[in-house]
C-alpha cells in the first residue's frame, strides 16, 4: 500500500501523470517506489489507450536520488544482497525507460540527483525550469555515477560528462539545456498550463508532444559564471580528457597556476574531497560507456555496484553515506585514502563478475522491440 501513496497516479484521458510523493525525503526512491514505477511503465506500454507518461515530483525536489540509508543498513548487517535486488529493479527500470515505445515527459522542477537522473534522462523529454538543480554526486558518497550515467554522461559534448560525473558539479536548468541533459526549459509558472495541454495530446507521436512543449519553451541565458561557457569548456576538455584521475588533477593545478580562478579551485577541491576509489572506477566507467549501448552500460554498472556493496575492495559507500546523509559532518574518512593507493588491478576487479558468490548473476535485460542499435543490450 505504501508504494501506492509514494507514487501517485492520475488518469487524464490518454495521459498518465505519475508523481513521486515522498517530499520530506526529497522523493528519494525506495524499493517500493521503483517496483511500482516498473510495474506501471510496463503496463502502460502494453495498454493502447495510454499515449504519454508524465513523471514529476511532489515538493521542492523531482528526486534527490536512491533512498540510500536502508540499503546501507542492509550492508552493515551483512545483507548486501538485499541491496543487489534494489539495484536490479532500478537498472531494469532505467533500461525500460531508455527503450520505451511511448514518450515520457519528466518535469524537473527542483532537485534531480543520482537515481532521479536515472528515471528521467533516459526518457524522451526532460523539462528543466528555473528551480532545477541537477547533479551526479556519487563520488562524494563512495559510489559512482550509475543508473545508466556511464551511457548518458559519456554522450555529453567533449569531456563535460567526465567533469559532471567526477566532481558532482551542480548544473542549473539553463546548463542542462545547453549540454543536452534537458530537452526544454519552461518557467515553473507555466507548468500547470503545459500539463493541461499535454493531457489533450491523443497521440504517442513525439513530434506532436514536442510541438506542445515548444509553445511553452523560454530562451535561457547561461549565468555569468557558468561552466558551459566556451572558455571553461576548453579547460574542461583539456583537463578531463586526460587518461587518469591523477593526470586530470595535475592538469587542473597547472591551469590554476597560470590563471587562478574560483571555478578551477572549486573543481580541484571537489576532486580531492571525493572517494579515491569512486573517482577511479567512475572515470573508467564513463570511458567504457562511450563505446557501449545503454543495456551494456547498465549490466556493467550492476557488476560494479555489487562490488561496491560487497565491500571487499573498499567500504567507502557506508562511510560516504554516514558523512553526507546520517551524521552530516561532510568529513568522510576514505579507504584507500590516496589515489596512488588505488592501483589499476584494484580498479579492474570492479568490472569483473562477482565470483565466489553462490547464486549471484549478472543483470539480465530482455531484448526490447523498439531498441535502437545504439542502445542494444548484449552480454559483456
Ligand atoms: C543537496 C540535498 C539534495 C538537499 O539538501 P538540503 O536542501 O539541505 O536538504 P536535506 O539534506 O536536509 O534533505 C532533506 C531530507 O531528505 C533526505 N534525503 C535527501 N537525499 C536523500 C537520499 N538520496 N536518500 C534518502 N534521504 C535523502 C535528507 O536525509 C533529509 O532528511 P531528514 O534529515 O530526515 O530531514 C541533500 O539532501 C543531499 O546532498 N542529498 C544526497 C544527494 C545524493 O547524494 N543523492 C544520491 C545520489 S546517488 C544515488 O541515487 C544512490 C542511491 C543508492 C541507493 C542505495 C545504496 O546502497 C547506494 C546508493
Q: What is the mean pLDDT of residues 184-208?
A: 97
Q: Which residue is closest in CA terms to ligand 1's atom 34?
A: 25
Give the pLDDT of residue 376.
47
Ligand 1 atom, smallest distance to 60 CA: 7
Residue 375's pLDDT band, with cuts at 50, 70 and 90, is: low
The answer to whether the predicted template modeling score (pTM) of the entire model surpasses 0.80 is yes
Q: Is the CB of 67 under 6 A from ligand 1?
A: yes
Do the interacting molecules here have an ipTM over 0.85? yes
* Choice between 299 and 360, residue whose per-residue pLDDT is larger: 299
CA distances from 97 to 43, 63, 153 (A): 13, 16, 16
Can you say whether the dihedral through the CA atoms of 114, 115, 119, 122 is positive or negative? positive
For β-strands 171-172 and 133-135, DSSP reports them as antiparallel
Give the pLDDT of residue 379.
40
Give the pLDDT of residue 203.
96
Residue 1's pLDDT band, with cuts at 50, 70 and 90, is: low
Q: Is the CB of 217 under 6 A from ligand 1?
A: no
**pLDDT surpasses 60 at 374:** no
Residue to mutate (ligand 1; options 142, 325, 328; most atoms within 8 A of CB): 325
Residue 16's pLDDT band, with cuts at 50, 70 and 90, is: very high
Matching residue, cell 515505445: 101
Residue 4's pLDDT band, with cuts at 50, 70 and 90, is: confident
Q: What is the mean pLDDT of residues 78-105?
A: 95
The grid coordinates listed for 31 are 524499493
Q: Determine the Cα–Cα distance for residues 179 and 161; give it in Å rounded to an integer.
A: 9
**pLDDT surpasses 80 at 133:** yes
Please give the share of the chain, as a percent, with pLDDT higher than 70: 96
Q: Determine the Cα–Cα distance for residues 39 and 43; give it in Å rounded to an integer.
A: 6
Residue 371's pLDDT band, with cuts at 50, 70 and 90, is: low
Amino acid at each position: 500500500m505504501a508504494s501506492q501513496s509514494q507514487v501517485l497516479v492520475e488518469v487524464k484521458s490518454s495521459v498518465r501523470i505519475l508523481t513521486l510523493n515522498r517530499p520530506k525525503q526529497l522523493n528519494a526512491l525506495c524499493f517500493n517506489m521503483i517496483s511500482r514505477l516498473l510495474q506501471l511503465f510496463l503496463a502502460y506500454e502494453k495498454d493502447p489507450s495510454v499515449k504519454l507518461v508524465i513523471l514529476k515530483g511532489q515538493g521542492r525536489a523531482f528526486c534527490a536520488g536512491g533512498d540510500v540509508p536502508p540499503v546501507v543498513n542492509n550492508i552493515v548487517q551483512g545483507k548486501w544482497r538485499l541491496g543487489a535486488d534494489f539495484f536490479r529493479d532500478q537498472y531494469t527500470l532505467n533500461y525500460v525507460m531508455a527503450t520505451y515505445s511511448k514518450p515520457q515527459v519528466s518535469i524537473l522542477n527542483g532537485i534531480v540527483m543520482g537515481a532521479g537522473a536515472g528515471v528521467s534522462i533516459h526518457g524522451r523529454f526532460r523539462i528543466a525550469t528555473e528551480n532545477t538543480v541537477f547533479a551526479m554526486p556519487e563520488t562524494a558518497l563512495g559510489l559512482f555515477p550509475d543508473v545508466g550515467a556511464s551511457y548518458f554522461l559519456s554522450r555529453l559534448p567533449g569531456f563535460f560528462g567526465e567533469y559532471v560525473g567526477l566532481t558532482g558539479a551542480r548544473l542549473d536548468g539553463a546548463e542542462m539545456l545547453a549540454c543536452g541533459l534537458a530537452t526544454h526549459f519552461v518557467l515553473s509558472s507555466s507548468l500547470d498550463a503545459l500539463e493541461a495541454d499535454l493531457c489533450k495530446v491523443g497521440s504517442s507521436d513525439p513530434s506532436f508532444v514536442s510541438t506542445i512543449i515548444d509553445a511553452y519553451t523560454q530562451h535561457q541565458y547561461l549565468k555569468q559564471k557558468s561552466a558551459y561557457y566556451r572558455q571553461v569548456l576548453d579547460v574542461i576538455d583539456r583537463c578531463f580528457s586526460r587518461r587518469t584521475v591523477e593526470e586530470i588533477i595535475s592538469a587542473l593545478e597547472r591551469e590554476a597556476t597560470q590563471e587562478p580562478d574560483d571555478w578551477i579551485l572549486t573543481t580541484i577541491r571537489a576532486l580531492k574531497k571525493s572517494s579515491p576509489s569512486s573517482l577511479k572506477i567512475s572515470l573508467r566507467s564513463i570511458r567504457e560507456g562511450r563505446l557501449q549501448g545503454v543495456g551494456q552500460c547498465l549490466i556493467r554498472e550492476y557488476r560494479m555496484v555489487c562490488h561496491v556493496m560487497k565491500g571487499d575492495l573498499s567500504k567507502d559507500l557506508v562511510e560516504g553515506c554516514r558523512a553526507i546523509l546520517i551524521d552530516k559532518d561532510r568529513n568522510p574518512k576514505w579507504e584507500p585514502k590516496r589515489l596512488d593507493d588505488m592501483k589499476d588491478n584494484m580498479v579492474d576487479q570492479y568490472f569483473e563478475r562477482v565470483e565466489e558468490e553462490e547464486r549471484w548473476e549478472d543483470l539480465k535485460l530482455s531484448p526490447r522491440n523498439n531498441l535502437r542499435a545504439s542502445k542494444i543490450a548484449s552480454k559483456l
